Amino acid sequence: MAEKKSDIDRVYTINLRKSWVNYSRSRRTKKSINTIREFLQKHTKSAEVKLSKGINEFVMSRGFRKPPGKISIEVKGDFASVQAKLPGEVIAKKTQEKKGGIAGLRDRLSGKESPVTKEDLKKAVEEKVAEETTEEKVKEIAKKVEEREKKETADKSTEVKKEAAKPEEKKETPKKEPKKETTGKNTPKASKEEKK
């Protein structure tokens, strides 16, 4: 009897045009991706198929309305799960990225992947804070604060001197003449005094 080969290593050329030609333009790329997935499930007899980013980018390269007519795909894996990629595409392994925010702070402070308890985390934070707030740093901060206060007081005093140096000028407001009453269309009404 021949032994079953546990690893799959093949290259397929899939005709996508047959699958998407009868679909509306806005659904064509989605249908193309589903066709690739169904084709690989059928021919490799595996339930789980993972497509690379390169395949997705190639199908979307001309937009979601105009997918390519054919695509060549390299398939590797075992019968349980299969990974598909473009021929010649290099798939980088996922590297553990630095975590940001609180999760990353926990890891950096504790020096381990994750602290066992909250108490360990609190101790690590207190140690870190104690290291950062040494007497020298406190003195430096105090000097900076004093310098800022001196600058602010100097600025305020120069402003006060400038204001005191300027004499206050009184502006005279012109007296307004009383309005003449009008009768009808823009003709002034003669007052009683003018009639006499």
Find, among 91, 93, 110, the residue nearest to 102 by Cα. 110
Looking at residue 115, its pLDDT comes to 45
Same domain, 33 and 60: yes
Residues contacting 72, CB < 8 A, separation 6+: 11, 12, 13, 14, 86, 87
Looking at residue 186, its pLDDT comes to 61
Mean pLDDT of the chain: 77
CATH of the domain at 38: 3.10.440.10
Looking at residue 124, its pLDDT comes to 74
In order, the DSSP letters of 94-107 are PP-PPP-HHHHHHH
In a domain, 172, yes or no: no
- Of the listed ranges 39-53, 83-97, 149-163, the least confidently predicted one is 149-163
Q: What's the rounded Cα separation, in Å, for the pair 163 and 93?
A: 69
Looking at residue 170, its pLDDT comes to 58
In a domain, 20, yes or no: yes
Q: Is 196 helix (H, G, I), strand (E, B) or coil?
A: coil
Per-residue pLDDT tens over the stretch 25-77? 999 999 999 999 999 999 999 889 999 999 999 999 999 899 999 999 999 98
> In residues, how long is the chain?
196
Same domain, 21 and 40: yes
Q: Which domain holds residue 112?
A: 102-132
Number of domains observed in the structure of the chain: 3
